[in-house]
Every structure is written in C-alpha cells, then in structure tokens.
Structure 1
Amino acid sequence: MNLLSGRKRLSGLCLSIVLGAVMIVSGCGTSAPGLVDRLSAGEVKDMQQPVPDAQIKYNKDKIFHVLGGWPKPPLYQGNPFGSGGTGDTNNRYMFEGLFFFIRSMNNVYNRLAESSEDTEQTTTVHLHQNVKWHDGAPFTSKDVWAYYRLNNGAEVTKYLTSIETPDDYTIVFHWMNPAPYPELRKLLLAQDLQGQIPYHIYKKYVDKADALLKEAKPLTDKSKDGPFNLDITDELSKKIALNWNEFTRAGPKIPVGTGPYKFEKVTTTDMLLDKFEDYWRPDAVHFDKIWIKNVPELSAQYALVKAGKLDWYDGTPPKDILESLLKQNKDLVHYRMYDPASVGLMYNIRNKPFDNLKFRQALTYVLDKKKLREIGNFYGQEYPKISMTGIMPSSLEKEVDKSVLDQMTDYTTNLDKAAELLKEIGWTKGSDGLWRDPDGKVPSFIIGAPNNWAPGVNSAQIAAEQFTKFGIPTKLKAVDSTIYFSNADKGQYDMSMDWVDVSWGFQNPWSSMRVLFWQGTKTKVGFPNVKKKDADGNEVDTGKLDLKLKGIDGKVYDIDKEMKRFPYVQDEQERRKIIDNLAWIANENCWGVNFFQNATGAWLNTKTMSGNFPMMDQIVQYNRDMPLATDPDEQLAITHLNHGFNSTYMPEEYWPR
C-alpha cells in the first residue's frame, strides 16, 4: 500500500524499493560534498538555522525519516495503553506530557505546562491555553486529572492525596505529608505523558475509575502504599482492573494526542505522520511529515543508514560496522553518549558458595574488565575499581563523596588476591590447576544470559573463559529471552547477566538504587524478603526487602527503610549521606560486577537534515566519529539528539536541508 495514495502528489518525490516496501528518499541522484568537505569550506550557515522552503536543496518534501515499531494492522489501534500500544518509539511524536526530561540528564523542561510552583504540600501547574487535541478539542486541566484517576497505577499517585482543577488551565497536585522534596516531585511528574487520555473520549472509564477510588478508605497501614493514599481492597482492586481492561479495548481507531504530528496512515512496514496544523508551537515544527519504517533486523537497519535513507538513527554499533558506515557515507555523523546503564553480572546469593562474601570477591578479582568491554561494547567504559554500587559509574564522583569513594574496596584485577581469599575460606588448588571447595569437590558454574542481547552474551562468554582459566570451570548458557528473565529471577543460574547500576527513569541516584534493592537486580541476586504468617499459619512472602547491613560508619541499617526515607528528606546533604552509605554497602557486599558502562549514540544524516548539531568545531578533527563529550554544555546538547529511549523528540532542533 502506498501511504501517500489518495493525497496530492508530493513534488520532487523519489521512490526506492527497500526490503519490498516503498520509502521516500529525498534528493535521489544528487551528488554533493560530504559533511567534512562542507565544513572545511566554511559552509555552515545552512546548518545553523532553518532556511526558506525555496532554499531547501535535498529534502524538498520536508520529510523526516526514522525507524519505529508498532502492532501490525489490523491489530493497530489508537489507544496507547491498549494491547501493543501505538508503538512506544512513535509516542514521542504524537503525545506530550506536562514536563519532559532527556535521558541520562535531570534537566526538566516545560511542555504542556507553561509554569509551575511548589509549596510545602502542593505543586501547582499552569497549562498553556492554546493546546488542542488532534481531533480539535481543547486540552484542559480535566484531561490531566483524567489521566491520573484512570491511570492510577502511575508511580506519582503513590505520593499524592488528590488532584484539584480550580479552572480549565490550572492543576494543583496535593502531596502526602511529608511530601517528596521539590526536585523529585517534578521528576516524578515528568515520567508521564499526561496528554494520552482525552477526557472527552474516555469519560465513561475515567468517571467509573473516579467513583471506584471514592469507595476506598484512607491508608492507615504505613507499610502499604496505594494511589492517592487510599487503601485499595482486593475486591475494589478487581473492579478497578476490570474498568482499566475495558478502557484499553475502547479505541479509538487512531491515536489522538497533542503532539507536533498526528497519525495519518499505517501498514505493516510503514507509518506516516502529518504535521499537526493546530499545534500550539507552530514555529517549532519544520518537517511536514514523519515517515517511520518498521525494520526489525539490524543488518537491514544498517543498510538503510549507509544508504542515507534515514535522517536519524539510534545506537552505537560494533566498531567495525560504525567505521564502515562512516566511510561509505560521507554525510553521516555519529555522536556517542553515556548510557545510564551498565552491562553486568549478578551473583545468585541463594546458592552456595555465592552466599559467601569472600567467594564473590574472589571471583570479582579474577575479571579483566577491559577485555570484557572490548568484546561487549568497544565504545563503553570500564571502571575496574568497583563491583556494583547501584549508581551509574560515570556519575559516581558527582553523586558520592570522595571520602566515601576512597574507602571503597578496590576490585581491580588481582589474581593473587583472588587466590588468597579462596584459601581463607578453605578452598585449595590442585596440581591440575582447578580449585576445589572445602569438601574437595571441583565446582562447575553457569552464567545465564538472554540469547538476543549481544553485549551481555559476548562479555559473559569472556567472563566464563576468565573464570575457567583461573581454575573455576564456568560455562555460558544463552537462554531464549522469553524465559530467561523469569528463570533468573527464580535463581536458576549461578550468575545472571542483565543491565546493572541502571536508571530506567529519571537520572537520580535513588532511581537507580531502586533497581538494585527493589527491582530487577534484587530478584536476580536473591535478596531476602520479609515473611509473615497468614490466618492459617502459612508463611507468606510479603515482597518487602529484608536486608540489614553495616554501613560505612559501622552501624546496622535497614536498607528498605533507608530507601523509603530518601524521597521525603528535604535536606540535600542528608540525602547525599543516604546515597553515600548505600553505594558503599553495595560495593563492599559485592553482589555483582559492573563489567562496563554502556555507550549509545545517535546518527544524523546531514545531507537531508540540518540542526543544532553539537561539537560543530570538532567534526572535521574527528571525521564525524565524535568521541564522548567532556564539556557539560556539549554533553547536554548530545543527549538532546538521543530521543530513542524514554525521551521526547524536540522538533525545534531539526529542519530540512
């Protein structure tokens, strides 16, 4: 199906058949100097600001070409919360929130919110008054209220008591007492795209959810949490879930948001979005359309990048592929940036001998992280001294006091130290070079990894080889990703691979600590939970962390209590002390190994697109293969280019060339 069928033919359109699907290729058959040649000749004016349509040379149809994914028609529908959604990678073009933040940075920007102010117990948000939904209805405070009453599982609702809408363009968020500290409040709100549940479309389900919430009583048990500080009984929870499920099947057929682009057409392989003519920031949108290709295979994606048929592409491929792409297409530029995630290994402390700290430390001293990084992600960065801290390594010096870092155990590769620790716990090394446990047995260990995750599989294989060479036989078990994570959470592997020291949301040390102590890392390491007896005397796992450990000052800390205390501490220095202590505890207990911090990136096709490109004065020097930026302003500018994960597309920063 031609996505442009039935519409006025676009002038100057070139068509090329790619993988059996039609794709626009602006500027076909036109040769031009590459980016370095243009910059060397001083031709930078067209890259620094938009030009009139008559001066556009290579992307006259003003189409932005990218990749994405979505449920295949006829399954595609317009409810972003429905089965398969509308395609998460495409949401950034069609939907907006009150605020947004850019991945790996805590910079929060206003979007649908024109302004906001905090008091001790409230945050008041004032909306822009000229915002419309794609169907023409006005966006008002009622829509924000509707978002949270219906989507009452959103994290921020656990910290709220109510939401008030005194007029159409004002929302007052009432926080629990004590309230989270102000900076965290805005980050919690910035996680959500509040412009996704139009009240005028979903009124039936919103009002039902509101009525059900009003049946609940206020929480009195401080060990529990619930939306708007309400005690949701099992019976009420089932009714709320039933209403939610009905909502997710309610349509509409096409997405309705407030974003700069609105849905036009979709096929199995292509999606076309049109510029929203009534968008409230018209001067920010320079492309008339966004053409999105659904191409799952990496090799096919790289082929499109090389051919110049994408304007933007997310990611940093292996070194040989990256260098080949730049060599074969002189218009491409690649920017690298730190990913707020590290590739790492977690020890399963439910199994012996991994319940022994000295054994875990011994294994950690065996690993040569440089070799793990070179095979896992050449452009990443290893941090030899740490085990696993719960904090993105590149942020350690910023988030943790130097005196604390200096007191952390240094885990730099040291085979002699590894052998010493094993001997201390009764292990011996035989003449065959193999280590034996105190019972005289030669162990054999398994590292589990999801088979479709190349950085994890490749680096885990090298780790297994390093353990085996040291005398501890270890094998990699690459498992189908559909069952791997469930198996790892159940403790089926001696060691498990996953992202560690990672923040899936806003970049805040507490956010990444949650992954360590409450979420994915917790379940793979096997931290214990509080157990209680039910009415019949049976032991029940509450899911609440039961971990009490000595901190840097020698005192014993309840980790769960410290984690729960953090959001409500208003004094910044006191919050820093909490993070200092938790990071030190994590490193000393050596529950896993941070192999290396991942590096990701963004590709830009400068033949068809211009923009506020960072490091402009260094592009010639590095021949378009841009290193990790060290200047804070450049780092921020580069993160703006990465709207590929948990971030928002910034249309004002790109325009046709």
Structure 2
Amino acid sequence: MRRKISKILLGICFSLSLTSCIGSKVIAGYEGYLTQPGKNKEKVMKMIGGWTKTGIGSHYHSGPDAGPLVMFGLEGLAQYVRTSDKIYMLLAESIETDPDNQNVSIVKIRDNAYWTDGNPVIAKDFMSYWYLAHNEMTSYMLDIVEVNNKTFKIYWKPYCSPSEEARKILISQDKKTACAPYHIFKDYADEVIELTKGLKPNDPEDIYYYQTHFGKKWTEEANRRYGEIYTNFRAHVHDGIYPGTGPYMLDQYDENTMILKKNPLYYNADLVSFEKMIFKRGGPTNIQMLLNNEIYYLDGLPLKANLESYLQSNGSLVNYKVLTQDTLGILFNFQKDIWQDKKVREAFQYILDRDLIRRSLAYYTTTTWTPLTAMCDYEAEKWLNPDDFLKIPKFRHDEAKATELLEEAGWTKKSDGWYDANNKKVELTVGTPGWNDLANILQSLFGQFGIPLTIKNADGPGGLLANSRVANSEYDMMTYLTSLNPWGNHPGGAYKHFFDQMDAAMMNIPTDPNTGRYKLICTKADGTGTFDAWSVYERIYTFTGDNLRSKTGDLVVGIANEYLGIDLYNGLTGSFFNLDYVGNLPFPEKFAIDRNVIDVLHYDDYGHDELAGTNVFFGEYTSYSHGLITARD
C-alpha cells in the first residue's frame, strides 16, 4: 500500500513541478546591502493592491473599498503585529486602567495627531465611530465618556469586563477607529449617541448580555432608528479630502493604479522614508511584475521549486518565511450521517500521511498530527499549561489502525471500496476554496485507501462557506483553515475564527434553536467533567493568568478530543522584497549568503517581531511609519 501511495504522490509532485524530496538549493547572496547605495533615489515603494474599480467613495464607511488607502491612510488607537506580542501605540499616547475603577480604561490621544484636512484628532472622533458603527468592541462597552478633547474613558461592562491585557488587544484589533471624524459626521454622531444613552440598560442575567452593544436593551424601534442613522451616515458624500490620519494620503488613482503621497501632518512624518506608495492592481501577472522590478514587495510563498526559480531569475530578490498562526486541514460537515459516529472520525485521523502532504505542498513548514484543535500547535504550546499541552491527542499515519476502527464502527472493506454500517458504499465529496493542489493529493490518498473522493471547487472562502451551509450540502468535508488567529496574540483570536467567523458555521455544528448558540459540549482537559465550549469562548477575554491558561486548555484539548476534523500542517507565508530599492530589512547577514531565507522564527526567537512586521498583512503600515522599512537610496 505504501509503495502505491508513494508512486501516486510522486506523479502528483512531478505534475506540480515540486522538488519536495530534494534539499533546498543555495541561492546566490546579495552583496553590499549595508555598504553600497541602492537604486531608490525617488524614495518610492511599489506593491500590489486592490480597490473598487468604479470608485472608492468619499470616506471609509461609504461602501466601496479604498484598499491601499485604508491600509496606509487610516489608523486606530493602537495596532498589533500578527503572530507577535508587539502592539504599537498609534493615535493613543497611552491606554491605562483607571486607578479608581478597574472597569474603566483611560485613553489619552496624541497632542500632535491631525486629520488630513488639518483638524486635530479629538476624543469625540472615537465616540462618533463606536456609537455609529457597532462591532465586537461595543459589545464589551457600557459607555464612552469624554474627559477633554484629548482624553476619554471607556467604561467596560462590569459582568464581562475584559482583562487589562485583553483590552489593549481588543482596541488594537479595531484597526481603523479613526474613520468617522466628528467635525464631518457630527449630526449623525450626536443623534445616535442621544438614542443610545436614552435606552434602558439590559439585564446582566440576560443570555444575550455579552452581545448587546453598550449594555442596552435594543428594542425593535431603537434598532430601526439606529439603522436609519447608520444608513444616512454611510450615504453622506464628503466633498473634501478622504478623511484619514495615517502616514499616507490619496494623491490619485484610476482602475489600475493608486498613488499615495506622504502625509505632511503625520505625527511620525520624520520616520516615514518613502515619499510615495504606488500600488498596481493585482492579478495573474503579480510574479512577473516582481521579477521585472515593477513592484518591490509581494506577499506569498510559492511552491519550493517555483520559489527557487524566481530567486535565481532576479538576483535582487529576497524571500522571508513568516508563520501565519493558522493550520491547514480538513473539516467534517456534520450535516452528514457519516460523522455522527465518533469512532469513524477517529479512524480518519490515521488514514493520511500528513508529513508527505506537507513536504509536497508546504516544504518549509511543519506537519501537525493532531485532530482539529482550532488553535495551531505552537500557539497552543504558548498558552496552555505544559501538562495540558501534552494531553492534546496526537496521531500517525497508520492505515491498519484506521481499518481496525472502521471495522469496529461496522464498516466493511470490499473489493470495490468501503461500505458503512448500513452497507452503503462510501463515496465522499470535498469542497475547497480553490485549493486544487491539496485536493488532488487528498483525492489520491483517500482513493488508495478505498474511499473515492470527488473535488468541488468553490469561489473562494466565502463561496465555500455558503455552499457548506445550504441544506443537504454536497460537501461531506471541506479543506480550509482548521485554525486561524489574525486578531492579536491572545487565545480569543483563535476561537473567534472558529465560533464567529468560519469553521463552526462551515461544519454545521449544531445550534440551540432558541438562542442560536453553538451546542458543543466537550470534556475538560483534566477529565473531571464537561463544559459548554461557547460559554467559555464568550468570556475568554475576561480570564487572566492561570485561569486563562486552564480555560484555554479546556478548549484546545476538549475540542481536539471530539475529532471534528484533521489538522495537516502549519500555515506559512513569505515576503518578497527587492533589495535594490528597499532598505533596513532584517537579517542582511543571512541574505548576503542565501536570498532564500529559510529560517522560520517562533514567538520567543530573536528577531521574530521585526520579521513579522515586514509582512504588510501582519503589521500593515507600522514598519513604514516607524522607520523600520526604508527606501534604499
């Protein structure tokens, strides 16, 4: 059996132009990076971007997507760097707990923070935003009170007040809080603040208390009125400069190119090296544009052979590897009868050679041998007590064990494949967001085991979610991210993805018909009893210290022991930079020898935070606004 599988995989690897069984080639280094001048005399950064072709609107909430202008022109009070512990204070000079009330945060705004039209950034700008645009933050808030123009207080709900550490993470998750300036949207802000403050408080014993905005009872009439105000706010056409506070502001754009110019009023303007940012619309020519020096940065990690080819064809490119704090794998669709038997779910953990899959598709990362945990293994290692971390079930590639478990579940292997306990031939369909390479390998491996697998490609993650949710979905399982945490370094981020974003909905985890909450009862990590996973997640940001570790352990170990899916390998992305044009990049001593920088750093490794910040989707503009990435002139 192993020999047959290997032959199949070798064929797939050949068709994908992979070199997964060969060590990395040494790519010629780049000399003189620290001692010789570069080529970027104009101090311009060029990269890929995307925005609404028909127009970007006049402000952030107007509907269209302004793409790069949002990323580099708008900001919040604070900004975290994904996968790291780094949080930059941006418009906030400080965020501290009120010594007189532990349920209150005092936010002080920078004195030198201005909107692009010259108006100072004030406390009411943030009140305007949060009262107009309800989001997760406002479900934790009780009130926002202005102290003076540059100071305001956030009153957190006493019964679900986030911990001091979690407050900064939650605030930094809200990355574009400076997007509804009070001096422009005063009429809408005043009206919605008056409406909200006039509502009756909600009962803390109410099951929905954690979800209600500002702890109020939102009646049908209040929701209707709020909706009207919000709709009018979005429809407002602003005649002046697109409002922002970030390091760059709009210069010009058309369907294919957007040019941003340095914001002279930016409080960190002296540290901003690039005078302009030029964005080209993304598409199938991204790599060619990189190779032709038309762009100087590109996010991504191609297959190993392709990566080496790109680096060899352009001697000025470097590629870094950055862990993405996610896991790729398989999610079971619990609409289907096949997954109702836990022994069957356990058997499927043994079928696949995950290491072979990882070497074929993600050469530089690591294999995971766990069931779906909803938290990647290195994140779990950081947050769990060591004893709990060791309790996460680990599997291996063992088709004999898989066969034994399936037979115990009443399945039978016949000459034409597997039959379930009802003597129905097992033929499965996997939905993917377009991940053909992974789906093809899974199809071959399951086929060799005796389970035919049909591949159905959806239109991206959104299409995959929609298709999985329809009644009697054609998907028996889905390939997607079995864990993801892009919301700051806290366990709440991982389970936000699982419960609020994608996975639980995609897998059709049963819900309570009265409350809509997921019904996922798991066994505690110490085995002393069961717990409701949603109820723990709902309060995850309120826990601290050992209690946070213990509760996180319950979630990770408890969900893992339900065998809801299969983790395959840890996610990894890359960052391409053109060394002729971009300066001050990390590890010049490494790319002086080999421009394929293969080091994969973890949280506590030297240089991890700096490396993570170079990826524009991890730190956004912070490395550019703080002088960490500069023009190499």
Of 141, 151, 169, 1:187 maps to 169
Is 2:237 aligned against 1:237? no
| Aligned-residue offset at 1:578 | 0.7
Residue pair 1:68, 1:294 contacting (<8 A) in 2 also: yes
Task: Return 587-596 or 616-625, whichever deviates more.
Answer: 616-625
CA distance 1:480–1:655, change in 2 (3 Å): closer
- Could you say which residue in structure 2 is the equivalent of 1:458? 437
- Could you say which residue in structure 1 is the equivalent of 2:590? 618
> Aligned partners of 2:150 and 2:383: how far apart in 1?
37
Of 605, 611, 618, 2:578 maps to 605
Q: Write the deviation string for residues 236-283 of structure 1: whole angstroms up to 9, x where unpaired.
A: 212212221222221325521111111111111111111111221221
- Could you say which residue in structure 2 is the equivalent of 1:150? 132
- Could you say which residue in structure 1 is the equivalent of 2:201? 218
- Could you say which residue in structure 1 is the equivalent of 2:234? 248
> Aligned partners of 1:644 and 1:563: how far apart in 2?
26
- Could you say which residue in structure 1 is the equivalent of 2:56? 76
Residue pair 1:344, 1:596 contacting (<8 A) in 2 also: yes
- Could you say which residue in structure 1 is the equivalent of 2:478? 496
Within-5 A mapping of 1:247-646 = 247-252=233-238, 254-297=241-284, 300-384=285-369, 386-430=370-414, 432=415, 434-451=417-434, 454=435, 457-481=436-460, 483-490=463-470, 492=473, 493-532=475-514, 542-552=515-525, 553-570=527-544, 572-611=545-584, 613-629=585-601, 632-645=605-618
- Could you say which residue in structure 2 is the equivalent of 1:102? 81
- TM-score (normalizing by structure 2): 0.89
> Aligned partners of 2:615 and 2:236: how far apart in 1?
33
> Secondary structure in 2 aligned to 1:499?
strand
| Aligned-residue offset at 1:458 | 1.8
| Aligned-residue offset at 1:173 | 0.8
Task: Return 182-191 or 229-238, whichever deviates more.
Answer: 229-238
> Aligned partners of 1:159 and 1:57: how far apart in 2?
49
Residue pair 2:83, 2:486 contacting (<8 A) in 1 also: no
Residue pair 1:381, 1:599 contacting (<8 A) in 2 also: no
- Could you say which residue in structure 2 is the equivalent of 1:24? none
- Could you say which residue in structure 2 is the equivalent of 1:14? none
> Secondary structure in 1 aligned to 2:329?
strand
| Aligned-residue offset at 1:584 | 0.7
> Aligned partners of 1:155 and 1:318: how far apart in 2?
37
> Secondary structure in 2 aligned to 1:382?
coil
Task: Tell me which of the two structures has the higher relative contact order, counting C-alpha pairs closer than 8 angstroms and 6 or more residues apart.
Answer: 2
| Aligned-residue offset at 1:398 | 1.4
> Secondary structure in 2 aligned to 1:544?
coil
Percentage of pairs with the same residue: 24
CA distance 1:483–1:642, change in 2 (3 Å): closer
Residue pair 1:340, 1:507 contacting (<8 A) in 2 also: no
| Aligned-residue offset at 1:464 | 2.4
> Aligned partners of 1:37 and 1:408: how far apart in 2?
43
Instruction: Name stretches of at least 5 consecutive residues in structure 2 with no aligned partner.
Output: 1-26
> Secondary structure in 1 aligned to 2:531?
strand
> Aligned partners of 1:165 and 1:78: how far apart in 2?
27
> Aligned partners of 2:350 and 2:50: how far apart in 1?
42
Is 2:34 aligned against 1:44? yes
> Aligned partners of 1:617 and 1:480: how far apart in 2?
42
Residue pair 2:319, 2:595 contacting (<8 A) in 1 also: no
Of 227, 246, 264, 2:213 maps to 227
Task: Return 373-382 or 415-424, whichever deviates more.
Answer: 373-382
Within-5 A mapping of 1:44-63 = 44-45=34-35, 58-63=39-44
Q: Write the deviation string for residues 24-43 of structure 1: whole angstroms up to 9, x where unpaired.
A: xxxxxxxxxx993524xxx5
| Aligned-residue offset at 1:371 | 2.8
| Aligned-residue offset at 1:645 | 4.9
| Aligned-residue offset at 1:305 | 0.8
> Aligned partners of 1:229 and 1:105: how far apart in 2?
32
Residue pair 1:269, 1:293 contacting (<8 A) in 2 also: yes
Instruction: Name stretches of at least 5 consecutive residues in structure 1 with no aligned partner.
Output: 1-33, 47-55, 533-541
> Aligned partners of 2:424 and 2:538: how far apart in 1?
43
> Secondary structure in 2 aligned to 1:625?
coil
Q: Write the deviation string for residues 463-514 of structure 1: whole angstroms up to 9, x where unpaired.
A: 2221221112222112334643211123611101222211132232222123
| Aligned-residue offset at 1:140 | 1.0
- TM-score (normalizing by structure 1): 0.86
Of 133, 139, 142, 1:161 maps to 142
| Aligned-residue offset at 1:185 | 0.5
> Aligned partners of 1:331 and 1:163: how far apart in 2?
50
Q: Write the deviation string for residues 609-635 of structure 1: whole angstroms up to 9, x where unpaired.
A: 211x22222223333434313562311
Residue pair 1:78, 1:85 contacting (<8 A) in 2 also: no
Q: Write the deviation string for residues 335-355 of structure 1: whole angstroms up to 9, x where unpaired.
A: 101012222211112211111
- Alignment-mate amino acid for residue 566 of structure 2: V
Task: Return 288-297 or 133-142, whichever deviates more.
Answer: 288-297
> Secondary structure in 2 aligned to 1:286?
coil
> Secondary structure in 1 aligned to 2:528?
coil
> Aligned partners of 1:608 and 1:274: how far apart in 2?
17
- Could you say which residue in structure 2 is the equivalent of 1:122? 104
Aligned-residue RMSD, C-alpha: 2.0
> Aligned partners of 1:295 and 1:347: how far apart in 2?
33
> Secondary structure in 2 aligned to 1:407?
coil
Residue pair 1:68, 1:90 contacting (<8 A) in 2 also: no
Residue pair 1:69, 1:90 contacting (<8 A) in 2 also: no
CA distance 1:355–1:646, change in 2 (3 Å): farther
CA distance 1:208–1:521, change in 2 (3 Å): same
- Alignment-mate amino acid for residue 616 of structure 1: P
